[in-house]
């Protein structure tokens, strides 16, 4: 029996990279998935890839409570309920150090990074909570090696991902026993992950960086994983069969980055 048979899942940032890999694997494991995607082009591509009704797509912004509520409602209306909410949308800072942060844009850059990496999961949890309580479901937050170790970004990104760990633990504490809450900390991978507009990084993709070289040089396993290689951790924690004993935890699947000081950069 597929691990996620009959599960109804909602995910933010599911149009590319790790998010798209999660959508594809969850569908293969028997789930039906509602996706919130900021890019109209990526949203359209999802609709084309899944024309059979297994995936419902909402074009919207994960930093908007209204759009998260629309995602949750779409999942319920399309599939009859909501069993798992995955807060996956993210923003990197391209290793911008404290010294490099411009004085005239540091506040705006902070607001952008924290809006996507911290506020958006909080809003998603708020929007999904009534349905997750009804289904005794689960909440998953995509974190990063930067949630556990320094060196995976600059101070904006790393601190925002550390804040995500606190969010996982506090929500697990508040929502037990009805809702399980967990985080997943993947390592680097070549994706379309972007940076904040305030730093001029919105048009720059993480895949433009020498990701393969970094990973093969700096990580203990000396290899550059593809996004779909991280998805098993999400399946495990979303599963009602295999994930029932886990809540308030962050599953470290970043390839042993901490063994060498957290030097692997980026998570989506």
Q: Which of the residues are catalytic?
A: 157
Written as six digits, the tokens of 201 are 């990084």
Q: Strand 84-87's sheet: what is its strand order? A: 55-59, 32-37, 8-12, 84-87, 138-142, 180-186, 250-253
Residue 19 neighbours by CB under 8 Å, 6+ apart = 11, 12, 13, 35, 88, 89, 268
C-alpha distance across the termini of the chain, in Å: 29
Cα–Cα distance measured from residue 15 to residue 38, given in angstroms and rounded to the nearest whole number:
8
Judged by DSSP in three states, 181 sits in strand
Q: DSSP states of 75-139 as a string?
A: HHHHHS--SEEEE------TT--TTTS-TTTHHHHHHHHHIIIIIHHHHHHHHHHHHHHHHT-EE
Number of neighbouring beta carbons within 10 Å of residue 81: 17
Distance CA 243, CA 196 (A): 34
The total number of residues written for the chain in this structure: 268
Distance in angstroms (rounded) separating the CA atoms of residues 10 and 12: 7
> Which three-class secondary structure state does DSSP give residue 47?
helix
């Amino acid at each position: 029996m597929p691990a996620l048979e009959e599960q109804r899942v909602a995910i933010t940032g599911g149009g590319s990279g790790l998010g798209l890999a999660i959508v594809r694997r969850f569908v293969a494991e028997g789930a039906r998935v509602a996706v919130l995607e900021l890019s109209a082009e990526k949203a359209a591509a999802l609709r084309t890839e899944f024309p059979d009704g297994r995936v419902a797509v909402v074009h919207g912004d994960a930093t908007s409570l209204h759009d998260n509520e629309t995602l949750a409602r779409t999942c319920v209306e399309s599939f009859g309920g909501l069993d798992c909410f995955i807060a996956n949308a993210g923003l990197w800072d391209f290793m911008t150090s404290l010294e490099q942060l411009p004085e005239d844009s540091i506040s705006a850059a902070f607001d952008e990074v924290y809006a996507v990496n911290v506020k958006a999961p909080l809003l998603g949890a708020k929007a999904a909570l009534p349905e997750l309580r009804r289904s005794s479901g689960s909440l998953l937050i995509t974190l990063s090696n930067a949630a556990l170790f320094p060196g995976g970004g600059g101070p904006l990104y790393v601190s925002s991902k550390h804040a995500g760990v606190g969010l996982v633990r506090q929500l697990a504490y508040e929502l037990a026993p009805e809702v399980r809450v967990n985080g997943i900390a993947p390592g680097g991978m070549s994706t379309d992950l972007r940076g904040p507009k305030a730093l001029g990084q919105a048009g720059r993709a993480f895949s433009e960086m020498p990701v393969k070289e970094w990973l093969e040089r700096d990580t203990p396993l000396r290899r550059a994983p593809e996004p779909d290689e991280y998805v098993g951790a999400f399946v495990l924690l979303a599963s009602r069969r295999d994930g029932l004993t886990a809540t308030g935890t962050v599953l470290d699947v970043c390839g042993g980055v901490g063994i060498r000081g957290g030097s692997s950069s980026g998570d989506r």
